[in-house]
Amino acid sequence: MGGGGAGGSVKDVQSKGELDGLRQSGATLILHFWASWCEASKQMDQLFSHLSTDFPNSHFLRVEAEEQPEISEEYSVSAVPFFVFFKDGKVVDKLEGADPSSLANKVAKVIGSINPGEAAAPASLGMAAGPTVLESVQDLAKANGSSQMGNQVQTGLDDKIKKRLQQLIDSHPVMLFMKGNPEEPKCGFSRKVVDILKDEKVKFGTFDILSDNEVREGLKKFSKWPTFPQLYCKGELLGGCDIAIAMHESGELKEVFRDHGVDIIGTEQGTGGILEPTGLTENLNSRLQSLINSSPVMLFMKGKPGEPKCGFSHKVVEILKQEKVDFESFDILSDDEVRQGLKVYSNWSSYPQLYIKGELIGGSDIALEMQKSGELKRILTEKGIIKEETLEDHLKSLISSSPVMLFMKGTPDNPRCGFSSKVVNALKEEGIDFGSFDILTNDEVRQGLKVFSNWPTFPQLYYKGELIGGCDIVLELRNNGELKATLSE
């Protein structure tokens, strides 16, 4: 096909060198990894072509993922469709899966049609990306909304996060998921919706999506609405900023609130307000707030950290210790008023409950998942509770995570290159237990380890924090009968 960025067409990339050349030019690039056998890839490619027409001065590039493994490997592509966004030679965003609204939204942002730091609501995509794109988004969503695309979105969430999201949505009759809080909105769209709700004189609850990436990303899939703020009434999504404005100006929003029995604040008060949890006395409400805020990290658990009275509480204590976090705790078995009241206050029915800077994180399952993903450490760092870990610290921690540690492409059960496969087989044949890290999943680790170890290739094998070497050295040690001895000194 014709060249990307020349009159609005899509170019098929034939080599890594070709792509590297375009990156070095500093031009804005949008790269689509696809497969001819994948129906979702074909559907997204239709929208991709429309976008190239609406943004003719940018480069829209397509890569056959399986035909260009070197390029796919470099950008950690494990499924199609997959999109990578470049600006000034750097990767600035990625998108996995068939999500037409998000693709149009991200393209508009990276090319600059949307102000930095502000999301384009779906209702404004026509202005952001042109009528052709909006029509394509609507057609694709209509064709797939209840089947393939809808199923893909929903299956991306496990039952635990679905339950948590539903609990948050149902926690108040009017619920706003926003950037920041009503007193300090972190984007103009969130501020506008807060002002609208105050003008409507309704009580409403809020959740700062910047404080919890799991909620932020999960809610996009759960609601099939890719931007924020998101406004809900009695558990039903009303929409974002543009829809709230239109409904407010037409009077429809007031009718929706009235029809659903939403509390209206007396006109003598003149302003809207944040809804406190109901069913609690003022004294208990104040006591619970005081307990939650008594420490930057607060754990409501069964028993005490030194003597947990249930396995779930024990697990969260261990997680916090592993993260080297100072925390306070409250034994809910010692005070039934707190035990029952906190369930209502937090709209969370089980224990333990973990709070960071007054915000509910969740129970043991969520804490464990957040630790595994690194999200817990990120939140603790952002809140100033722990110091930010440098890349060198992170690499040292990974290297020391197992006495014998292998940094490889893929996993021991599914190596992604022949050299990694050979080292795995050598270790297994010698009966050596080892830990591993897939460097294809983290480009920062992949590039950083090359510098840290002064060893430019993978796999890399370490023993007690010291580099042994790569594939050739490991095989040489095995052939000489020295591998097991070297890794057990």
Q: How far is CA 22 from the centre of its chain?
A: 29
Tokens of 156: 């991306």
Same domain, 230 and 337: no
Q: Does 60 reside within a domain?
A: yes
Rounded (10°) angle between helices 188-200 and 252-259: 60
Q: Does 151 reside within a domain?
A: no
Q: Does 50 reside within a domain?
A: yes
- Output the pLDDT for position 78: 61
Same domain, 162 and 250: yes
Same domain, 267 and 173: yes
- Output the pLDDT for position 83: 92
Among the listed residues 124, 249, 85, 61, the one whose alpha carbon sits nearest the alpha carbon of residue 115:
124
* Radius of gyration of the CA atoms of the chain, in A: 26
For 198, list phi and psi in degrees, rounded to 5: -65, -40
User: Would you say the pTM of this structure is higher than 0.85?
Assistant: no
Same domain, 35 and 125: yes
Tokens of 32: 């689509």
CATH for 403 = 3.40.30.10
List b or e across 381-393, with b for residues whose CB sees 16 or more CB atoms inside 10 angstroms. Answer: eeeebbeeeeeee
- Output the pLDDT for position 437: 94
Tokens of 144: 């797939």
Q: Does 324 reside within a domain?
A: yes
- 75 DSSP assignment: T
The burial class, CB within 10 Å (0-12 / 13-18 / 19+), for 399 is buried
Last residue of a domain, one of 274, 292, 314: 274
- Output the pLDDT for position 4: 43
Last residue of a domain, one of 115, 144, 173: 144
d(CA 118, CA 106): 11
> Which residues neighbour 140 within 8 Å (Cβ) at sequence distance 6 or greater?
43, 44, 46, 47, 98, 100, 149
The amino acid present at 239, given as its one-letter code, is: G
Same domain, 116 and 181: no
Same domain, 349 and 426: no
Total domains in the fold of the chain: 4
Domain that includes residue 329, residue range: 282-382
Q: Does 461 reside within a domain?
A: yes
Same domain, 294 and 365: yes
Q: Does 2 reside within a domain?
A: no
d(CA 418, CA 353): 46
- Output the pLDDT for position 127: 36
Are 33 and 81 within 8 A, CB to CB? yes
Same domain, 369 and 416: no
Question: Alpha carbon of 453 to those of 207, 418, 445, 461, 462: distances in Å?
Answer: 43, 21, 11, 11, 10
d(CA 244, CA 230): 9
Same domain, 348 and 405: no
Last residue of a domain, one of 217, 252, 274: 274
Q: Does 149 reside within a domain?
A: no
- Output the pLDDT for position 56: 80
- 388 DSSP assignment: P
Same domain, 242 and 164: yes
Q: Does 30 reside within a domain?
A: yes
Same domain, 18 and 139: yes
Are 430 and 484 within 8 A, CB to CB? yes
> Which residues neighbour 162 within 8 Å (Cβ) at sequence distance 6 or greater?
218, 222
The burial class, CB within 10 Å (0-12 / 13-18 / 19+), for 465 is exposed
pLDDT along the chain (489 residues), means of 10: 52 89 89 79 82 83 82 76 89 84 82 52 38 47 40 55 88 90 84 91 89 86 81 87 82 82 55 47 85 94 90 90 91 91 83 90 86 85 78 88 93 91 93 93 90 92 93 92 86
- 468 DSSP assignment: E
Tokens of 296: 């930057």
Tokens of 140: 């694709």
d(CA 235, CA 473): 60
Same domain, 370 and 434: no
90-96 and 82-87 strand pairing: antiparallel
The amino acid present at 460, given as its one-letter code, is: Q
